[in-house]
Structure 1
Amino acid sequence: MDSDTLQAFQSELTCSICINYFIDPVTINCGHSFCRPCLYLCWEEAQTSMCCPECREISEKPDFKTNIALKRLASLARQARPCHVDSSKDQICVAHKEAKGLFCEVDRNLLCGPCSESLEHRAHSHSSIECAAEEYRVEKFLKKMDTIRKMTQEMQNHLNQETSKIHSLAHYVALQKVTIKIQCQKIHLFLHEEEQLHLETIDRDAAETFQQLRSSEVRMTQQKEHLEEMHRELAETCQKPAAELLQVRGRISAKSTSVLVHTPQPLHPEISVGPITGLMDGLNHFQECSLKSGYCRKACAEGEESEISKPDY
C-alpha cells in the first residue's frame, strides 16, 4: 500500500472532531461518522439542535448504534501505528535497562522482555501494551463513559424537574397569598393580626422549602458538572499513549466510580396549608354583629313609628 493510499485509509478512520482514530464510532443520519463521546460532547456544548458537525444536517434521533466495522478497523489501525517508546524513568526497566513493552495480565504491571521471562512472571499471561490499552480503552473506559453520559442526562432531567418545582412552588405560594389576602380583607378590621400571622407562616414554610430545593438544585448542578468533567477526562484518557493510559487507569477508574456513587436524588417537598384558625370565627362574629346592628336599627325605627302613631287621650 503506497503512502497516499495509506494516508487516505487512515483519514477514513479518523474522527473529524478529535482528529484521532475512532473510538466507539457511530454513523448518523447524513452518513458522517464520529466518535460517540465526541459527538455527544459536541452537541452538549453547543446546546443547540442535534446537527452534523460537518454538514450541519439535523439528526432525527439522539441514539445511534456502533459502527462495528469502523470500530474494528480503527482498533487495528491504532494497534498497528508505530509504538511510541517513552524514555521516562518509569518506562525503563531498572534491572535490564530496556523499555517496558509488555503488560502483565495478572499483576497489571508494565514489563520489559527479560522481566516477562523471569520466574515471577513466566507463568502469567502477557500482551503488548497497545493491545492491553485497547482493551481498557474500548471495553472498560467506554462503558463507564456511556454510564456517565446516561447519568448526566438523567441528572439534567432531575435538574429540570427541580427547577420546574421551584417555579410551580413560587406560583402556588403567590396564589395562596392572594387567596389569604382576599379572605382577610373581607374582615380586615377583625382579623388583621390573623392575616399577618398566616402570611408570615407561609413565607417561613416556603422559605424553608425554597432553601431545600435550591440546595438540591446546587448539588445536582455540581454533580452534573462533575459527571461532565469525568466524561471529558475519560475521553482525554482514551487518547493517551498506551503506557500512560495503563498507568493512570486505576486513578481514573476509582475517580469515576466515586463520582457515580455520590448521586443526589430529587426532593419531593410539600407545603401543607392547614385551616386558617380564627377566620371562620371572625366571619361569624362579623355576621352576628351585622345582624344585631340591623335588628337594633329596625327595632328603633319601629319604636319611633309606634310612638308617633299612638293616640293621645
Structure 2
Amino acid sequence: MAVTVEILKKMQSEITCSICKDYFREPVTIGCGHNFCQACLSFRWRVGAPAFSCPECRQISQDREIPVVNRRLAELTELGKHFSSKLLESNEEQSQCVTHKKPLKHFCEEDQTALCVTCCETPEHGAHKISSVQEAAHKYRRELQHIRSHLGKHLKKDEQLLAQKKKPAIDWQELISSENKKVLTLLEEEESRSLQRCKQEEKARRDRLKQYRQSLQDLMLELQETRHQLNLDLLQDAKQLLGRCEAVLAQRVKAVIPVLEEYYTPGLIEILNKFRVDLTLDPTSAHSSVTVSEDRKSVKAGEGWQVETKFPDDFPFHYVFAEQSFSLGNQYWVVDVTQLSQWTLGIYTPHIRTRWGREVNSSMILLHCIKKEGEYYLQTYPGSLNHRVKGLLPWIGVYLCNGPGTVVFYNVLQGTLIYRFSALIFRWPVTPVFSPGPPLPGTNPGPMTLFPADSHLCVGCYTCV
C-alpha cells in the first residue's frame, strides 16, 4: 500500500498545474516542456508583454501565442483523478478503530473524532451529533470551498490594488504642500516633516496590504491542499482552518482601508478665521425629517427619520440649505457636530465642471461621516476619500473660494486638512448644505450647530467658544 501511495503522489504531481495547484484543466505544453492549465498560462502571459517566460523555469519562450490543448495529457489527468479517488476510498475503508478493530465510518461533530459503530453506542458519544465520515467530509469540503472562493475574490482585489501605480489615489504631498505655502517660509520646516511622514505612512500602508495579501495566499494554498487529503485528515484540521480564515477576513478593513492621518499646519485656522461668515438656516428648504431651531442656527434629525437596523450603502441624507448664497470671494464657516455620529456637510450649486471642461456628475460637493461595524469613516462625494478616522471629529470647517473654484474641509480642533476639491468652475450661486444624520438606530442624537462668525475658535481647545 505504501508503494501505491507513493505512486499516487508522483502521479498527482505530474497532472497538477504549478500555477493554480489543482488538476489540469485544458492542459497545454510550452517549449521548455512544462505543462499548465491553458487559462492559468493565459493569465500569466499578458497581451503586449515584451517576452513570454515559463512560470516554472523562467525560460524565455519564442512563441507569442498560447499553445493548443494537449489532449493526451488531458486524458491522463482524468484517469489520474479517477484513480486517486478510488485509492482514497480504499484507504479510508481500511482505517480501523484502535479500540474495537472496526472500520471508522462515523464522525462525532462535538469531539471532532472518527468513530466505529461500537464507539457510537458508548455513553461517551450517545448524546452527540453523529454523521457518516462521507457526509461530514462533504460538509467541511463545501464550507472550505466556499471560503476559498471568498478569499480568492479578496486576493484578486488586493492584487489589483498592489498592481496600481505607486502614487496613491489621493496626492497628500501636493495637498500638504499647497496648504503650507499659505504661510510662506515659516512653514517650510513643518512641511518637510509632514511630507516625510506622508511617505512613511504610505509605505506602511502598502506593507500592511502586502502582509494581508500574503496571509490570503497562504490560506489559499492550505485550502487547495485539502482537496487531496483523506477525509480523516481533512476533518482533523478543518475546524481550525475555518477559524483562521474567519480571523484573517475580519482584519480586511484595517488592512485595506487607511486611517485618515493628521497633518498639522501651524496658523492655518487663524488665517481661515479671517474669512468667517455668519450663516443661518432656511427652514423652508428643510426636509420633513429634519427640524430647524428657532434661532436658525442648528438643525436636528426629527422623529420621522427612521432607519433600518442595518444601513444600506445608499441610505438617505435629508438636507437643509443655508439662507445665504455666495457668488464671489472667500467664505469660511464652522459647524459643531459633537453630538452626532453621522452627518453630511458641503455646498450646492446648479452646475459644476472642472477647469478643463469635464462635467461633474453632481450638483453638490459633500463630506460624509458614517459609522459601519463600529468604525467611523469619512467619505467625499464626488471624490476618492474613503478613510477611517481615529475618533469622532467635533468641529468641521468648510472653506469656499469662488475665484479658483475650491472647496476644502478641515478638522478645526486639530488644525488639519481633511480633503480639498479644486480646479472647479461653479454656476452661481453657491449655497451651503447640512444634514444631521441619518441617526443611528436606538440613539437620540443632538443638533448640528453653526458657530457665529464672531465666536473665537482655536486649535486644541473646547473652551474658547
CA deviation vs aligned residue, 1:25-62 (integer Å, no higher than 9, x gap): 855999x99599xx49x959xx9989999x98867xxx
User: Partner of 1:241 in structure 2?
Assistant: 230
Residue 230 of structure 1 pairs with residue 237 of structure 2: no
CA 33–107 in structure 1, closer or farther in 2 if over 3 Å, else same? farther
Q: Which has the higher helix share?
A: 1
Q: Which moved more, 1:200-209 or 1:222-231?
A: 200-209
**1:158 and 1:266 in contact (8 A); partners too:** no
TM-score by length of 2: 0.37
> What letter is aligned with 1:84?
N
Matches within 5 A, 1:14-93: 15-17=15-17, 34=37, 39=40, 43=44, 79-82=85-88, 83-84=90-91, 93=97
Offset of 1:223 from its aligned partner? Answer: 0.6
Offset of 1:163 from its aligned partner? Answer: 3.0
CA 76–52 in structure 1, closer or farther in 2 if over 3 Å, else same? same
> What letter is aligned with 2:87?
R
User: Partner of 2:188 in structure 1?
Assistant: 199
> What letter is aligned with 1:216?
R
Residue 157 of structure 1 pairs with residue 146 of structure 2: no
Matches within 5 A, 1:1-313: 15-17=15-17, 34=37, 39=40, 43=44, 79-82=85-88, 83-84=90-91, 93-104=97-108, 108-116=112-120, 120=125, 126-129=131-134, 132-137=136-141, 139-160=142-163, 163-165=166-168, 168-169=171-172, 172=174, 196-263=185-252, 264-267=255-258
CA deviation vs aligned residue, 1:242-297 (integer Å, no higher than 9, x gap): 211110111111111111111123336686886998xxxxxxxxxxxxxxxxxxxx
SS of residue matched to 2:118: helix
Show structure 1 runs of 5+ residues with no match. 1-10, 60-71, 184-193, 278-313
Q: Which moved more, 1:97-106 or 1:72-81?
A: 72-81
CA 22–233 in structure 1, closer or farther in 2 if over 3 Å, else same? closer
- How many Å separate the matches in 2 of 1:107 and 1:151? 32
User: Partner of 2:304 in structure 1?
Assistant: none
> What letter is aligned with 2:154?
M
**2:22 and 2:224 in contact (8 A); partners too:** no
CA 123–212 in structure 1, closer or farther in 2 if over 3 Å, else same? closer
CA 116–80 in structure 1, closer or farther in 2 if over 3 Å, else same? farther
SS of residue matched to 1:110: strand
Superposed CA RMSD in Å reads 5.4
- How many Å separate the matches in 2 of 1:115 and 1:57? 61
- How many Å separate the matches in 2 of 1:252 and 1:259? 11
**1:104 and 1:124 in contact (8 A); partners too:** yes
1 or 2 for the larger relative contact order (CA 8 Å, sep ≥6)?
Answer: 1
User: Partner of 1:290 in structure 2?
Assistant: none
SS of residue matched to 1:148: helix
Percent pairwise identity: 17
Structure of greater Rg: 1
> What letter is aligned with 1:233?
E
SS of residue matched to 2:167: helix
TM-score by length of 1: 0.52
Offset of 1:100 from its aligned partner? Answer: 2.4
- How many Å separate the matches in 2 of 1:105 and 1:78? 27
**1:51 and 1:58 in contact (8 A); partners too:** no
**1:93 and 1:99 in contact (8 A); partners too:** yes
Offset of 1:241 from its aligned partner? Answer: 2.0
Show structure 2 runs of 5+ residues with no match. 1-10, 30-34, 67-77, 272-465
CA 111–245 in structure 1, closer or farther in 2 if over 3 Å, else same? same
Offset of 1:124 from its aligned partner? Answer: 5.6
SS of residue matched to 1:203: helix
- How many Å separate the matches in 1 of 2:214 and 2:263? 30
Q: Which moved more, 1:258-267 or 1:116-125?
A: 116-125
> What letter is aligned with 1:257?
E
Offset of 1:227 from its aligned partner? Answer: 0.8
- How many Å separate the matches in 1 of 2:262 and 2:65? 41
SS of residue matched to 2:104: coil
- How many Å separate the matches in 2 of 1:122 and 1:249? 23
Offset of 1:224 from its aligned partner? Answer: 0.8
- How many Å separate the matches in 2 of 1:104 and 1:75? 29
User: Partner of 2:280 in structure 1?
Assistant: none
- Residue correspondences, number: 233
Runs of at least 4 residues off by over 4 Å: 25-30, 32-36, 47-53, 55-59, 72-79, 104-108, 117-125, 166-170, 173-177, 268-277
CA 165–107 in structure 1, closer or farther in 2 if over 3 Å, else same? same
CA 81–112 in structure 1, closer or farther in 2 if over 3 Å, else same? same
CA 124–221 in structure 1, closer or farther in 2 if over 3 Å, else same? closer
- How many Å separate the matches in 1 of 2:80 and 2:53? 25
> What letter is aligned with 1:16?
T
> What letter is aligned with 1:102?
H
Offset of 1:195 from its aligned partner? Answer: 5.2
